[in-house]
Structure 1
Amino acid sequence: KSILISCPHENVSTKFLAPYTTFCRIHQKSITCLDISSGGGLGVSTSTDGTMKIWQAANGEIRRLLEGHVYDVNCCRFFPSGLVVLSGGMDAQLKIWSAEDASCVVTFKGHKGGILDTAIVDRGRNVLSCSRDGTARLWDCGKSACLGVIADCGSPVNGIAVGAADDSLNLGTPEKAPSEREVGTEGKILLLAREDKKLQGVGLQSRQPVFLFIGSDAFNCCTFLSSTYILAGTQDGNVYQLDVRNT
């Protein structure tokens, strides 16, 4: 999507790039989620057409069709390796896929409602999910097992994010020793964007509440700006920037 104009006699050239590129052949209906691999070579996306696909980021050429969820797929993301994809769907299942051959290598079951968002802890030995059933869960990829319910909110959890906490934050102490299968949870805080207008922070390893903020409407999504600042968006269009040390 570019034009190169050159003048060999003057030994000069200019390359004009198209302002944007549209990949219109990947999905036929609304796209609900997408992610790009760590190397930037591949994209993965989900759609209300009921499909999840892996495609070339450079030209939109479809590489793999990931089939296995029963209903709509709500979320997808690459593991840091760029070779594996994590997805969650309305069938309450969390799945791990090979980006190389489209095989589903792991299926996690335990949620009682559709999965709305996911997160990956460090390199991906543990992953997280949140659901319409009001819970956020931690999973062990190697054993295909749930390591525990991190939070039970009593209200749908629309989005989550995990990040390193500032040293000044008190993340609490676990009531019992963490499983040896938990990897990378120490010093992390889990953000929960809740349907009941609450944004909550929970110590990932301790499972203890760190803060609770009440917004103007349902929180749909959240992310970390740094170890102290976070962003969260609500249903009524507000974006909140918060300092977790003063929340």
Structure 2
Amino acid sequence: MSTLTITALQSSLYWLDKDANLAMFNKQLESITHQPDLILLPETFSTGFAINLDCAEPENGKVLTWLKAQAHKHNAFIAGSVLVAQGDKKANRFYWVKPDGEVSYYDKRHLFRLGSEGDYVVAGQARKVFEINGFKLLPQVCYDLRFPVFQRNNNDYDVMINVANWPAVRRHIWDTLLMARAMENLCYVVGVNRVGDDGNGVAHNGGTAVYDFKGDALTKAQDDAEQLVTITLEKAPLDEFKAAFPAYLDADPFTLI
């Protein structure tokens, strides 16, 4: 039976201090008591959401080197988003790093207009699906959650991941959309959010959670707390539910342009 054990890190972040953030995550990773297949970190986990400041990594910078080292050390896939230099702008890049050091990535497609993210960040163009343990995973980053067309499951993924810096003031929307995406796409959904205030004074209260394909919460982190959440997903119940309730076969066809 295919299973996938995921550990998600709900954490505060040090503003613009990569060394402090990486040291903090080192300690958190050392505290994991169950062997995960996949470790998930929040959006912009090394800097905070400092899109307008000079903090972007080079393509093969310190943070990616750290991700490779942690994947090897913990014998697990590890993923999270990092601001990566792209000419005079940045990419909000979701790195997917295997234990053997192989790297894939997805660049955030939908840029947060209210925060002028598009003035500083280049939008990704490609939808990606990654594989692990017989599961197919769709990576998404924060604001992507509001755009269901881009996330439509054409029976091509089993788990949607969203890593975020989602503000507390819109927390109800985060909770509601995670649940909705699970139900409408007949998939597991894993949302990983941060806690604490960032350098712009924006408050975050977490909401890291895992939902099943019926929209039921399988586990949730405590609000306003730094916490590791670990869960093991099983593929058989998902496959059985989709076989009994194949709503995706009745979905309207479309093409993204």
Q: TM-score, normalised by structure 2?
A: 0.31
Max Rg structure: 1
Task: Provide TM-score, normalisation by structure 1.
Answer: 0.32
Q: Which is strand-richer, 1 or 2?
A: 1
Larger helix percent: 2
Higher relative contact order (CA 8 A, sep 6+): 2
